[in-house]
Amino acid sequence: EIVLTQSPDTLSLSPGQRGTLSCRASQSVSTSYIAWYQQKPGRAPRLLIYSASSRATGIPDRFSGSGSGTDFTLTISRLEPEDFAVFYCQYYGTSALTFGGGTKVEIK
Amino acid sequence: EVQLVESGGGLEQPGRSLRLSCTTSGFTFGDYDVTWVRQAPGKGLTWVGFIRSRFYGATTQLAASVKGRFTISRDDSKSIAYLQMNSLKIEDTAVYYCARGRSILDYWGLGTVVTVSS
């Protein structure tokens, strides 16, 4: 079973700053099977990135994904006020899905 | 517009049952897999299971924590997916979301709250 570990737990940043979120898999995975979601309080998650680096429809280009093997990164180039939320990485295998524990990006 | 709406949540006692519905619109439901994800209060996202489309025989996969207690089904004629939850436990308390897909979850419902308490 693949375990995803996200870091840091909380990231305190100011609008306009760059945010870098990490997701580490317990074993090497295909880049095709990593996704990132954003969740705001009281809201459903929203797909941001799939296949590690492809932006979902309507997602601004300040969001980007990268990585391979066991280490994946979500980067927010310049944080906008609406970007502050919890972010989850996800691995999709052939018969199960796994989510990371999440990183909260909060306003400093 | 793609929409998914969960319903059927509520307060139930341990050991009892609940059936959640995921009513969809705006896409050809029968062509898509559907996934259930839950979120316990103040916690992260946890995969519950999925049901494949008719193209893959509407087969299901469930997380180990719910296998044997929960089942997923679908009615393509009504564009609805169901999550039947039996032998409920206190730890099943969560917001339950349905989402389109079984790998990339591109559309989600707003969720329905399930509380298991005596």
Task: Name chain B contacts of A42, Cβ cutoff 8 Å.
Answer: none
For B5, name the nearest residue in chain A, comparing CA atoms only.
Answer: A44
pLDDT band for A1, please (50, 70, 90 cuts). Answer: confident
Structure confidence at residue A96 as a pLDDT band (50, 70, 90) = confident
Beta strands in A1-108 (DSSP E): 4-7, 10-13, 19-29, 34-39, 46-50, 54-55, 63-76, 85-92, 97-99, 103-107
Which residues in chain A are closer than 8 Å to B61, comparing Cβ atoms? 95-96
Strands B112-116, B10-12: pairing is: parallel
The C-alpha atoms of residue A25 and residue A90 are separated, in whole angstroms, by: 10
Span A10-31, mean pLDDT?
Answer: 94
pLDDT of B37-96, one tens digit each? Answer: 999 999 999 999 999 999 999 999 999 999 999 999 999 999 999 999 999 999 999 999
Mean pLDDT of the region A80-94: 94
Whether B96 and chain A come into contact, CB under 8 Å, resolves to no
Residues of A in contact with B105 (CB under 8 A): 35, 37, 45, 47, 90
Long-range contact set of residues A81-85: C-beta below 8 Å, sequence gap at least 24: A81/A15, A81/A107, A83/A19, A83/A38, A85/A38, A85/A39, A85/A40, A85/A41
The predicted pLDDT at position B49 comes to: 97
Query: Is the pLDDT at A32 greater than 90, yes or no?
Result: no
Nearest CA in chain A to B45: A99
Alpha-carbon dihedral sign for residues B72, B78, B80, B83: negative
Residues constituting chain A: 108
| Closest-CA residue of chain B to A50 | B104
Average pLDDT, chain A: 95
* Minimal C-alpha gap between A92 and chain B (Å): 5
Q: Establish if B75 touches chain A: CB-CB under 8 angstroms.
A: no
